Structure 1
Amino acid sequence: MPTPSEPLEQLGFLTIGLFDGDDPAPGMESTLRVIELGEQLGFDSAYLRHRHFQTGISSPVAIMAAASQRTRHIAMGTAVTPLAWENPVRLAEDLATVDLLAGGRIHPGVSVGPPMNWEHVRGALYPDTADAEDFSYERVLRFVRHLRGTPASTFAGTRGTEQFSARVEPHSPGLADRVWYGAASRRSAAWAGEQGLNLLTSSVVRPEPADERSDGTWDFAAIQAEQIRAFRADHPAGARARVSQGLVVIPTDSATAAQRATYAAYVEARQPRTARPQGPGLLFAPDLLGTSAEIAEALYAHAGFREVREVVFALPFSFEHDDHVQILSDMATKLGPALGWSPTVGRPAVAAR
């Protein structure tokens, strides 16, 4: 599910918010305009990648705060925020603030593990506590507890003329139920299910050795489907637990000849990495390029897609603003309807079930 007889419920997109390092503002403005366009087209959600020491969004909370004042309905989230870079108390404060400004539309997606390029950034990030920092699942649980309003301070009351709370303020009811975990392995997907979190799957999985087939090939879709089933098997909500699938999807219905050539070259250059696990054991999904009818047919044949009711398709990060406009427009007007989806223009975005 969904199947041709069962409509897709939620259609979202993901962007990295690329900018020019010598002139960042235009790229950030482009990201805000893309989110505005997403709302106008009726998308259910817009997600932001989280990047550090790169020319992509390093502060999605700030971007979502700005976008919250330009939009009214579209949900916004992160896919994902690596918690190793964050203080869970401070992140909870920031996200609760933005969620209240947005009217309850924020969906934090998080992950754990040491920061990327840890050996190079540890001195700047944690100069005094690097060896003591806990980058395990516990960091997620701390973050969720703060969102839920569990006491974080041992003091509550009045000091002089100032009043203090034991919980993180502001508190945004319901935000903790909208936390998503970005899992790449079967183990992490099952853990997210045990914790009652929502699950973000993407175009990257970390397969088990047993997933390699006898002919030496790997089936990304089958591996992803197994991870989703493992998540739901351990989730209190079972089959109703929320899972969002993220693949790179490039519809070409209204693309110009030049755009189609650019897109084809992009997909061809990335294709070799889908043959076998790369680097630290990561397997990448093939990008889906073609007309909306062709992409819909490929998705209905995709074992991972058949396990979900909602998707967050990734925009190719290196494309131009006009390319993103064309792709989003085709997604909303061609691909979405081909999957049975209908736009959400004029009605509130879905929060947690």
Structure 2
Amino acid sequence: MKKIGFLSFGHWSPSQRSGTRSAGDTLLQSIDLAVAAEELGLDGAYFRVHHFARQLASPFPLLAAVGARTRRIEIGTGVIDMRYENPLYMAEDAGAADLISGGRLQLGISRGSPEQVIDGWRYFGYAPAEGETDADMGRRHAEVLMQVLKGEGFAEPNPRPMFPNPPGLLRIEPHSDGLRDRIWWGSASNATAVWAAKQGMNLQSSTLKEDETGEPFHVQQAKQIRSFREAWQQAGHAREPRVSVSRSIFALVNDQDRAFFGRGNDSDQVGVIDNMRAVFGRTYADEPDRLIEQLRGDEAIAEADTLLLTVPNQLGVDYNAHVVEAILTHVAPALGWR
């Protein structure tokens, strides 16, 4: 059994051919798609975060709104760039969104990916400390977030507060019990996957990975997952970790599907991103029977407990609901995912 969710990058464009012509369209349709996905039986609604772009950016209002409109589905991110974040303020927002949803938040965070502007985090008021890289700063922010999510007091109370304080040092409020165990680290390398395991974070492995061995993407990703699980065990954490992979998967069941995705990318691609040689996973798009056979050979999907389906959000709520329903109906049962 696997948990299956969707992952939306939340693109919008004023183009006449776009189903999301404004930020408002994207936000409102994201909520509607999460509601539709829950009704179809999907397990998760996840959203990508990019700054200075015509995409979803500030995630917590959206997550809170989705949490208020749904009852069962997990809500999450994949991922929030921690170089841009004040971890204490983030802990407040995350705690509120988690409480609104009844403890369904699955928060994916990371060092982040290349952005639309140079060193965009500087405009948000952040800069690496002396001797740090921006990646180091992102991991430092993540470590602070994980610490405050424990719910332990650390701030000296005012002896003459406006309102009475509980005894002892004060913590970030609102605090949501269990949220710390639902933080995920988006990793593109084996080393950062091991670091995430030591920190007690779940693992999100995306549609690209640092090309460390020259092997096919899914093989390298499966090895990364196994390295993560080994490091988790060595760290002695009490709970079992979760691992997700993201894939572009389209079951071609009608003429519209074939028109949109009938010529999909059926092989890995290699490129350079942020001065890193990276391998990008293929797009799976085929008739259901052939698609099932192709997916059986994906080692990383087999290793993961959670699969996130990337969706073309600009094609509208109805079509994206059809995309995920086709996977749930025609593909997942045959692979033992359901």
Task: Verify same fold: TM over 0.5.
Answer: yes
CA-based RMSD: 2.4
SS in 2 for 1:304: helix
Whether 1:13 and 2:6 are equivalent positions in the alignment is yes
Q: Is the 8 A contact 1:85 1:115 kept in 2?
A: no
Give the match for residue 172 of structure 1.
176
Partner secondary structure for residue 46 of structure 2: strand
Decide which of 308, 313, 321 is 2:304's aligned counterpart: 308
Unaligned runs of 5+ in 2: 15-20
Could you tell me how far 1:291 is from its partner in structure 2?
A: 2.9
Q: Decide whether the 8 Å contact of 1:157 with 1:163 is kept in 2.
A: no
Deviations along 1:152-198, whole A, 9 cap, x unmatched? 42336651445376210001000000001101100011111122211
Counterpart amino acid of residue 118 in structure 2: E
Change (3 A) 1:230 1:40: same
Cα offset, 1:320, TM superposition: 3.8
1:82-231 matches, within 5 Å, as 82-112=81-111, 116-117=115-116, 119=118, 121-126=120-125, 130-132=127-129, 135-155=137-157, 158-161=160-163, 163=165, 166-208=170-212, 211-212=213-214, 218-231=215-228
For the residue of structure 1 that corresponds to 2:192, the secondary structure is: helix
Task: Give the TM-score of the pair, scaled to structure 2.
Answer: 0.86
Aligned 1:70-81 pairs, distance under 5 A: 70-81=69-80
The change in CA–CA distance for 1:156 and 1:283 in structure 2 (over 3 A counts) is farther
Who is 2:65 aligned against?
A: 66
Which protein has greater RCO, CA pairs closer than 8 Å, 6+ apart? 1
Cα separation, 1, equivalents of 2:158 and 2:95: 20
Alignment correspondent of 1:252: 252
Change (3 A) 1:121 1:159: same
User: Shift in Å at residue 321 of structure 1?
Assistant: 3.4
In the superposition, the TM-score normalised over structure 1's length comes to 0.83
Matched position secondary structure for 1:150: coil
Question: Structure 1 residue runs of 4+, over 4 Å off?
Answer: 237-240
Aligned letter for 2:299? A
Sequence identity of aligned pairs in percent?
A: 28
Cα 1:295–1:152, aligned 2, differ >3 Å: closer, same or farther? farther
Distance 1:180 1:312 in 2: 13
Q: What letter corresponds to residue 261 of structure 1 in structure 2?
A: A
- Ranges in structure 1 where 5+ consecutive residues have no aligned partner: 1-7, 213-217, 343-353
* Matched pairs, number: 320
Kept in 1, the 8 Å contact 2:208–2:280? The answer is yes
1:31-70 equivalence runs, <5 A: 31-70=30-69
Residues 251 and 331 in structure 1, CA contact (< 8 A), matched pair in contact too: yes
Q: In structure 1, give the amino acid aligned to 2:67.
A: S
Deviations 1:72-126 (A, max 9, x none): 0001000001111110001110010010010000010000268735635355222
Match of 1:261 in 2: 259
